[in-house]
Amino acid sequence: MMLTKRTFLTGLAAFPLALASMPAVAQGKLSVVATTGMIADAARQVGGDLVEVNALMGPGVDPHSYRQTRSDIVALARADVVLWHGLYLEAQMQDFLHELGDRGTVTAVAESLPRDLLLAHEDYDDKFDPHVWMVPDLWVHVVDNVRAALTKAQPDHADTFAANAAIHLDELQELATYAAKIMATVPAERRVLITAHDAFNYFGKAYGFEVLGIQGISTESEAGLRRIADLVDVLVDRDIAAVFVESSVSDRNIRALIEGAAARGHKVQIGGELFSDAMGEPGSYVGTYIGMIDHNATVIARALGGDTPTAGMKGLLNG
């Protein structure tokens, strides 16, 4: 059953006994629920031992189409802090999350980014491309908003949150420097990034790549035969040798591109799997924001002819 804004309060009413009987978060820790893994990682980095963080959307989950479940309602209702992205990323949950905002500390951590840093949404005139996590220099704004939200909920620990955030921001600067360095080694004529959907426009703008997605910014948009045919023309005419699949989007359309190019005598390979709207498995290096972006940058640069370390920035990638 689809749970929307209208069913939020009645949904809570259905769970009072369950809420009372569920075990509480470890004493003294702040209970944080984040929609995406990227936001959850930021909360863990900033909150450290003072927080217990739960991400609603795990590896391979598409936030554009995700709808809250009954267990999500329970988790969100019990949380001390709720962190969601905004910018119409969680399109199917947006009304629900606004309703939830009347109940406590709920923050859309990307909504307040400076508008001059945002790209227009190709499908909606009044909205912006939400994929700001693709560039560490943009993600720093989200990390600072996470710090502010945790501080508001637990002001006695403001100094700790600030210190943890400062450490993580230094790591993001190191990541930004690494990404810029290896992207600059890709030959200019090869800086064309073709993926399943337009999740990499901020990446392209930051590092000087032309980005072409089969689907639009939202995975809800349909990729027509005309669009695939046009991209096959691009592959053949510009002698592009690699395209990329995404961990949270079906590879069907990418396979169609490769087959279309092959039918015209042009060989195209899959350059690798990128993490677009979700990170890797929890507990793994690519299950962190740093690892996710290290992986994406390294895989893209290597596949398109750049010079990269075998195992990425920290030597933790699998070749």
State the DSSP H helix or E strand holding residue 260, giving kind and residue range, or none if neither. helix 252-263
Nearest to 83 by CA among 48, 117, 40: 40
| Rounded percentage of the chain residues whose pLDDT exceeds 70 | 88
Domains observed in the chain: 5-164 (3.40.50.1980), 181-303 (3.40.50.1980)
* CA 253 to each of CA 218, 227, 247: distance values in angstroms, whole numbers, following the listed order: 15, 10, 14
Confidence at 214, pLDDT banded by 50, 70, 90: confident
Q: Which of 133-137, 198-202, 215-219, 259-263 has the lowest mean pLDDT?
A: 215-219
- Identify the pLDDT of residue 1: 37
Confidence at 319, pLDDT banded by 50, 70, 90: low
Instruction: Report whether 74 contacts 296 (CB < 8 A).
Output: no
Q: What does the alpha-carbon distance between residue 248 and residue 267 come to, in Å, rounded to a whole number?
A: 25
Note the maximum CA span of the chain.
65
Nearest to 110 by CA among 137, 73, 83: 83
pLDDT digit string, tens, across residues 17-48? 344 334 344 568 999 999 999 999 999 999 99
- Identify the pLDDT of residue 222: 56
Complete DSSP assignment for 17-48? HHHHHSPPPSTTPEEEEESSHHHHHHHHHHHG
pLDDT at 98 over 60: yes
Q: Which of 2-16, 33-47, 139-153, 249-263 has the lowest mean pLDDT?
A: 2-16
Q: Which of 104-118, 181-195, 212-226, 265-279 has the lowest mean pLDDT?
A: 212-226
Q: What does the alpha-carbon distance between residue 66 and residue 16 come to, in Å, rounded to a whole number?
A: 25
Q: Mean pLDDT in the chain? A: 89
